[in-house]
A and B are shown apart, each in its own frame.
Chain A
Amino acid sequence: MTGRRRLFFVAAVLLAASAAYLISDGGAVADFSEKIPKKIGGWAASGKDRTFNRERLYDYMDGGAEVYLAFDFREVWTRKYAGSDGREMTLDIYDMGSPAEAFGAFSCDRQDPGAGIGQESEYGGGLLRFWQGRYFVAITASTDDPATSGAVLGLGKEAVKTLGPPGAKPDMVAFLPPAALRPERTSYFHSVVNLNNRFFVASENLLRLDRSTDCVIGEYGAGGAEPVILLLIRYPDGDRARSARQSFLASYLPEAGPEGIARTDSRKWVSASVRENYLTVVFEAPSEDAAKKLGTSVKFPAK
């Protein structure tokens, strides 16, 4: 192939890949300006629609951008709506790059009942959050009266129509043992910022998390009782997993022996074990046996 032909071939492949990415999964975020209604009930779009990419996300949310940048965030499209009495509602649609990452962004701060919008959703206190395909969506209103709730949910139902087909959750979610799992409390993320907001472990990054690590956290037990926590981390290689375990045990569980399990002052058991490039940590288990049983129930993928 000549240099010119090779260049043409590469460009065509890139163009096709881009088109496939945009068309099959909901399109470019800028298209939302045309697709999403500018009026919802008594609310109307106000100001200019804006988009922010990875480099410019700080302009939109100084002090919080890292939370999305820790995922494979691509762009966010945002629009404000004004109500007749000066109330405000903000629609943010985040292109997270893949359905797994969109699920991750949604899953880390889940708290309210589902709203039946998108693949999974929650609504409470004027805040609607959901994910669909590679998009994570948040609609925020400053008030929570019935009229505002209706507008927030109505806007969510309109927005989800533009987001394309559903996508798959991260593979690691399926590794969690299903017995007694509280599925609505499962979270997926990469960084220590998300871990500590979800389940505070330590003020330092003992588990050595970064963008190259994948984490899933599951809660176990009946509702109302203190849950047992299973944290599963996938590192790029086994050395990093073993090093992270060592770091964690040294600072968090120094009394643990080679097996990496010990009872803490709160009379709960904590364990940390490595299998290949996976580190499994169990917190708040009621007994040694329970910690071991949960830790060894992880459904690791076949090689």
Chain B
Amino acid sequence: MNSPLTRRDFLRGTTVTVLGASLGFSQNKAVQKKSRVVLIRHRDVLDENSKINPDILQGMLDEAVMKLLDESDPVRAFRKLVKPGEMVGIKTNVWSYLPTPPELEAAIKRRVIDAGVAPDRIGLDDHTVRTNPLFVNATSLINVAPLRTHYLAGVCGCIKNYIMFAESQPAYHPDSCADLGSLFKLPQVKGKTRLNVLCVLTPQFHGRGPHNFNRRYVWSYKGMIVGLDPVAVDTIGLRLIMAKRREVLGKAQELPPVPKHIQLADTRHGIGTSDINAIELIKLGWNEDTLV
């Protein structure tokens, strides 16, 4: 057994230090190129009733992807991700209480079309991705999910969003869903993910029991976290959740239940980086109460 992360580690010091030391985030890892993650927020993307302004959301996606890829035009940026003639699957999330917003799905699809992919070659699916021909034959995938806590996995983000590609979902549940990172090595998925979009417009920072959703535990963060590396994106998402939990629930409840799958996606499965020192976080837009 590796040295486990214990309650004492949390009570001993800051969470960042704890995660760096106890979850195996190597301080000495040879960093050739940092994994870039863009966090973008806009004060007016949601109105007082949490209704999304689709134009602002489209602008946020465009700006984030341009920054991510060092491009000055959103269509050119998306052409770096997908090519005309490809078949593209947009893996969304339809959890009824907090789904990927249709406005965000539409914004992504629009840019994939603008990049030259025929609309009838773009899939948008969650539960039936394993049999959907547009996903079975997809040459590229775009991964988009809302951020929330999860009773088993700790957090549900871009890594866990791929569980629908698994033949047996329960097979990934043991040990706090430790091996979710291996989903990215499945034949239907391996090497195909071009973009990861973690929707943090209204993240859920706490839950009580499985399937629990409660508006008390959701806040209008009005953001989006975008990256090529799903592990780096989820690492930033986890930090956001922890910061909000610390603020609302107190330090003792800072950590959602054992989000070990993010770190193991890096150290065991090698699909990205969870080392905060190897992540280049770029923050754009509204900067009030950013928390990370």
Contact = CB atoms under 8 A, between A and B. Distances in A.
Interface of A: 58, 61-68, 108-109, 111, 124-127, 138, 140, 142-144, 193, 196-197, 199-204, 206, 226, 251-252, 264-266, 268, 283
A108 B214 CA distance: 17
Nearest to A126: B214
Interface in B181-219: 208-216
B30 interface: no
Given A63-B173, A127-B212, A202-B6, A265 B255 contact: no
B85 interface: no
B97 to A, nearest CB: 6
Given A62-B169, A193-B152, A202-B6, A140 B257 contact: no
15 contacts: A64-B209, A64-B210, A67-B151, A68-B210, A108-B209, A124-B216, A127-B208, A193-B151, A197-B257, A200-B257, A203-B6, A203-B258, A226-B252, A251-B6, A266-B12
Contact of A111 (B8, B156, B208): B208
Contacts of B12: 265-266
B259 to A, nearest CB: 9
Main secondary structure of the interface of B (DSSP, over half): loop
B10 A63 contact: no
B67 interface: no
B91 interface: no
B7 A65 contact: no
B260 interface: yes
Top 8 A-B residue pairs of the complex, sorted by shortest distance between their CB atoms? A64-B210, A204-B4, A109-B208, A203-B5, A266-B11, A125-B216, A202-B6, A202-B4
Interface in B229-279: 252, 255, 257-258, 260
Contact of A64 (B211, B214, B258): B211
Contacts of A202: 4-7
Interface in B108-149: none
B215 A65 contact: no
A144 B213 CA distance: 12
Nearest to A266: B11
Given A202-B5, A252-B6, A144 B215 contact: yes
B160 to A, nearest CB: 8
A202 B2 CA distance: 12
Residue of B12, B152, B211, B215 with highest tally of chain A CB at under 10 A:
B211
B222 interface: no
Contacts of A126: 214-215
Nearest to B214: A125
Interface in B146-185: 150-153, 156, 160, 163, 169-170, 173, 176-177
Interface in B1-43: 1-8, 10-12, 23
